Amino acid sequence: MPRRIFNILGIVQCFVALFAIPGGLSMIIEPSGKDLGIPLEILSDSPFESFFIPGLVLFFGNGILQLIAAMFSFRRHKMTTLLGILLGFFLLIWICVQMYFIGFIHFLQPLFLIVAIGEIVLSILIYRKIKNQNA
């Protein structure tokens, strides 16, 4: 199995974590969004009154878990494909829900939609290569 595909997936997962961890932490520490320059009013059509809960989800779901998945990817662990697919869909759903409630407000939203799809596709490619090798 080419190590390169695992490494590319790990790099993609680190990229997601690189943005999610500081962004989520900032929302947890300052739930008004002031530190990120995001007005609290954009949450008016969402179920949230502050950025605290979205910050927790961003920090842990798209940050810490992506970082853990990257370690699995770099080590070519057997759980790599499952984690990549699950976290790719988690990121995809996160961005879709975000855009539903607050709309398109930043170029990073479509970028991370593409990244999520890329994570899913890379994970499926790894799964297929493993499956073909074992057949």
pLDDT tens digits, residue range 95-113? 999 999 999 988 999 999 9
Instruction: Report whether pLDDT(133) > 60.
Output: yes
pLDDT tens digits, residue range 15-31? 999 999 999 999 999 99
Instruction: Identify the pLDDT of residue 109.
Output: 95
Instruction: State the residue range of the domain holding 58.
Output: 3-134
Instruction: Report whether pLDDT(1) > 60.
Output: no
Among 62, 52, 46, which Cα is nearest to 28's?
A: 52
pTM for this entry: 0.93
- 121 or 1: which leads in pLDDT: 121
User: Domain count of the chain?
Assistant: 1
Instruction: Report whether pLDDT(42) > 80.
Output: yes
Length of the chain in terms of residues written: 135
pLDDT tens digits, residue range 112-128? 999 999 999 999 999 99
Q: Is 119 exposed, middle or buried (0-12, 13-18, 19+ CB in 10 A)?
A: buried
